Structure 1
Amino acid sequence: MSNIKELDKKYVLPTYARADVEFVSGNNARLLDAEGKKYIDFTSGIGVVSVGHANKRVNSAICEQLSKITHISNLYNIAPQAKAAQKIVEASGFDMQCFFGNSGAEANEGAIKIARKYGERDGEIKRYKIITLQHSFHGRTITTVKATGQESMHNYFGPFPDGFVYADNIDQVESLIDNHTSAVMIELVQGEGGVQPQDKAQVQALAKMLKSKNILLIVDEVQTGVYRTGEFLASNLYEIEPDIITLAKGLGGGVPIGVVMTSLKGVLTAGDHGSTFGGNYLSTAAACEVLDVLKEYSDSGELEKNIDYFNQELEKFYSANRKMFTSKVGIGMMCGLRVKNAETLSAIISNARDEGVMVLKAGKNTLRFLPPLTITREEIDEGFKSLNRAVNSL
């Protein structure tokens, strides 16, 4: 471990405040570090390893694809890409088409480009403005950083592309619309902003209002998508039909992938957008198997039972430790506990790691839970036992 730390310090840019641990293997929600210590993972790589670590079906699909062809470019037809797009669109229930990239930020860049071209092409006035929400998070590229409604993330990196406006909340959106507004971009549950769900009635009213004004609704489902909230999309749960949806994290089971999907099928044409690696054989073969695994899991009713059990145990943990927490938030397996102060939150995360359970921070004061969707009851029980030890030792 010490050698790895030295190499990291010498050769890797220090953009992460890394914990002093190196994982070497995993199995569903279990992890093993280089020192032989065992952990329960309530993070799934920040919502990425949706079907668990080292999922045999996904690994098999990846290995099979690797033995044939990994990459050739989007100048040619790619069978698993077409199949993945079909599975995504059919699971969504919407009449859409997909563009594949490598990350959530890239998916959101694609969404912004679609909205900007739509706004310039449709009408005499150039419509380029996109309204997002305070405390939102949409990515780390220059454009998606600017789309993110967190002022602290804008330090040092300007000047930024023009045209992003921030609403304090959904109710304020309409008052910020002008003749240059092309789209509104929201997360139905703000992940990095503190696991904060939007109000369903407000979201539905927003969708209706935007439709009446011919303004696009973009829903960033990078963290909420692919069954994280219990439905394939949080948009399905909120009973809305956005014009553009972005996906990433849980779609590849650990393989980098991002997707922007839209009902605006004729807006982007050949040459308007592209990606060298996006949608290649490897990433989309993995995505196809992840989608099959989770569809079967959802259709069987086991996903719903698992979500219920995890939330039941989280509620028990919250109730037993009310001195530290103020509220329980989230939807499905995207959950959080509001902690009374930042110092306590940091101590819980550190102690939890010492006790063998991995948890996350969100916003300034939220303990975040994003376990693999396939986490077992035994793993849930073990994880909360470790977490109870962690808070009891404070």
Structure 2
Amino acid sequence: MYENMDKEYVLNTYPRNYVNFKQGKNATLFDDKGKDYIDFTSGIGVSSVGHGNARLADALSDQVHNLIHTSNLFLIEPQAKLAKKIAELSGFDVGTFFANSGAEANEGAIKLARMYGEKKFKNKRYKVITLEHSFHGRTITTVKATGQDSFHKSDFSPYPDGFSYNKDINDIYNSIDDETVAVMIELVQGEGGVEPFEKEEVQKLAAFLKSKEILLIVDEVQTGVFRSGEFLATNLYGIEPDIITLAKGLGGGVPIGAVLTIHKDIFEVGDHGSTFGGNFLSTRAGCEVLDILEGYKNSGELDESFIYFESKLQEIAKAYPALFEKVVGLGLMRGLRCFENVDLSTLINRAFDQGVLILKAGRNTLRLLPPLTISKEEIDEGFKRLDNAFKVLS
């Protein structure tokens, strides 16, 4: 019934699997037939505190019964609280602009960088350098910022100019010219194969850009909010970017994006805005999610989950050497790099049949992004089901 309704009335922009999930409990989902699935995707890194989280549900219910939205023309108490909490957890003296998604956050970061280029230099600077295999969003500008040709369809052209791509970090230095205003990178390329960069090369780049007064933008839409083990992957890498973007896990499922910057005086009133961004509901969600995850981190449970998940991931990689080349990623943003002759779709479908959800990424990689609150029992069950799925393929 609902499959036909979807096909008739919803635009066909996704390769749908027509399972109908009705309920969730932490890292376990239940469909309308009562079948359970271990969720190693968390809605592509969004459901950071799991499904059906009672604390988040209670906070949202309380907020809905009072105020959902007024607009940014008035004080929004949970927005102020969330901005303060983000600054405290990041360890940086940042101001935050709230949007509705990662793409919007990256748009805001690019606008901020270009305004910096206008105000800071005698001759306007506007060019932004990104990396091959990067992913920064689906809007016209963030698609252009994405370093993957498959996203640059001629159907959507012409694209905004001022973007270029380098193969790796070491190539960036020679690409900078007197119109370059910023370099935008992910510390772990999620869509690009769950590929982390080396800490030393990132630190070297950050120091170089600072010496040249060129902005470093770090896209933490997927790596942020404790997915790397720290609040920001930036903290893990020991750098201080000029701009950081967040989204996905920040709202635990409620749409929210954020632009963090140490340059608090670049934007002035009217330079940027969002009707829904930072409203009562989304920022109340963000406050509750950060409180939950901060407690989880401080208790040691988060690090224990990371270590245990890593051990199970290494076990399954070793068990199927004909399928998997290596384990990639960090924290609970992980991947199994497959050999080129291995078909990702087949692996994902087999896993689904066994009741475990996984994702694909670039470089022929299976991507695993479980809720950060996943239990040891759910990890065990998920990998047991993966083992059953892969047995018939090895």
Which residue does 2:37 correspond to in 1? Answer: 39
For the residue of structure 2 that corresponds to 1:184, the secondary structure is strand
For the residue of structure 2 that corresponds to 1:152, the secondary structure is helix
Instruction: Report the AA paired with residue 331 of structure 1.
Output: L
Which residue does 2:196 correspond to in 1? Answer: 197
Deviating runs (4+, > 6 A) in structure 1?
none
Which residue does 2:85 correspond to in 1? Answer: 87
Give me the whole-angstrom Cα distance separating, in 1, the residues matched to 2:236 and 2:312. Answer: 23
Instruction: Report the AA paired with residue 330 of structure 1.
Output: G
Give me the whole-angstrom Cα distance separating, in 1, the residues matched to 2:209 and 2:11. Answer: 43
Whether contact under 8 Å (1:40, 1:383) holds in the other structure is yes
Q: What does 1:154-233 align with in structure 2 at a 5 Å threshold?
A: 154-155=152-153, 156-233=155-232
Whether contact under 8 Å (2:337, 2:363) holds in the other structure is no
Give me the whole-angstrom Cα distance separating, in 1, the residues matched to 2:124 and 2:340. Answer: 46
Measure how far apart 1:341 and its partner are: 3.1
For the residue of structure 1 that corresponds to 2:270, the secondary structure is coil
Which residue does 1:324 correspond to in 2? Answer: 323
Measure how far apart 1:196 and its partner are: 0.4
Instruction: Report the AA paired with residue 281 of structure 1.
Output: F
After superposition, the C-alpha distances for 1:217-248 in whole angstroms (9 at most, x for unaligned) are 00000000000010000000000000000000
Give the alignment's TM-score, normalised by structure 1.
Answer: 0.99
Q: What does 1:188-337 align with in structure 2 at a 5 Å threshold?
A: 188-337=187-336
Alpha carbons of 1:16 and 1:385: their partners in 2 closer, same or farther (altered >3 Å)?
Answer: same
- RMSD of equivalent CA atoms: 0.7
Whether contact under 8 Å (1:114, 1:267) holds in the other structure is yes
Whether contact under 8 Å (1:342, 1:364) holds in the other structure is no
Instruction: Report the AA paired with residue 332 of structure 1.
Output: G
For the residue of structure 1 that corresponds to 2:156, the secondary structure is coil
Give me the whole-angstrom Cα distance separating, in 1, the residues matched to 2:19 and 2:143. Answer: 29
Pick the aligned partner of 1:20 from 18, 21, 24: 18
Give me the whole-angstrom Cα distance separating, in 2, the residues matched to 1:223 and 1:379. Answer: 22
Aligned residues: 392
Instruction: Report the AA paired with residue 81 of structure 2.
Output: K
Give me the whole-angstrom Cα distance separating, in 1, the residues matched to 2:260 and 2:324. Answer: 38
After superposition, the C-alpha distances for 1:130-175 in whole angstroms (9 at most, x for unaligned) are 0000000000000000000001101121101110011111000010
Whether contact under 8 Å (2:50, 2:373) holds in the other structure is yes
Instruction: Report the AA paired with residue 60 of structure 1.
Output: D
Measure how far apart 1:345 and its partner are: 1.6
Pick the aligned partner of 2:69 from 68, 71, 88: 71
Q: What does 1:94-113 align with in structure 2 at a 5 Å threshold?
A: 94-113=92-111
Which residue does 1:353 correspond to in 2? Answer: 352
Pick the aligned partner of 1:148 from 146, 149, 174: 146
Measure how far apart 1:342 and its partner are: 6.1
Give me the whole-angstrom Cα distance separating, in 2, the residues matched to 1:235 and 1:169. Answer: 18
Instruction: Report the AA paired with residue 139 of structure 2.
Output: T
Give me the whole-angstrom Cα distance separating, in 2, the residues matched to 1:332 and 1:343. Answer: 25
Whether contact under 8 Å (1:342, 1:365) holds in the other structure is no
Give me the whole-angstrom Cα distance separating, in 1, the residues matched to 2:112 and 2:166. Answer: 21
Measure how far apart 1:343 and its partner are: 4.8
For the residue of structure 2 that corresponds to 1:232, the secondary structure is coil
Instruction: Report the AA paired with residue 208 of structure 2.
Output: M
Give me the whole-angstrom Cα distance separating, in 2, the residues matched to 1:340 and 1:177. Answer: 35
Alpha carbons of 1:387 and 1:94: their partners in 2 closer, same or farther (altered >3 Å)?
Answer: same
Measure how far apart 1:19 and its partner are: 1.2
Measure how far apart 1:284 and its partner are: 0.4
Give me the whole-angstrom Cα distance separating, in 2, the residues matched to 1:221 and 1:384. Answer: 27
Give me the whole-angstrom Cα distance separating, in 1, the residues matched to 2:321 and 2:343. Answer: 13
For the residue of structure 2 that corresponds to 1:99, the secondary structure is strand
For the residue of structure 2 that corresponds to 1:375, the secondary structure is coil
Instruction: Report the AA paired with residue 144 of structure 1.
Output: T
Can you give the 5+ residue segments of structure 1 that lack an aligned partner in the other structure? none
Give me the whole-angstrom Cα distance separating, in 1, the residues matched to 2:58 and 2:118. Answer: 45
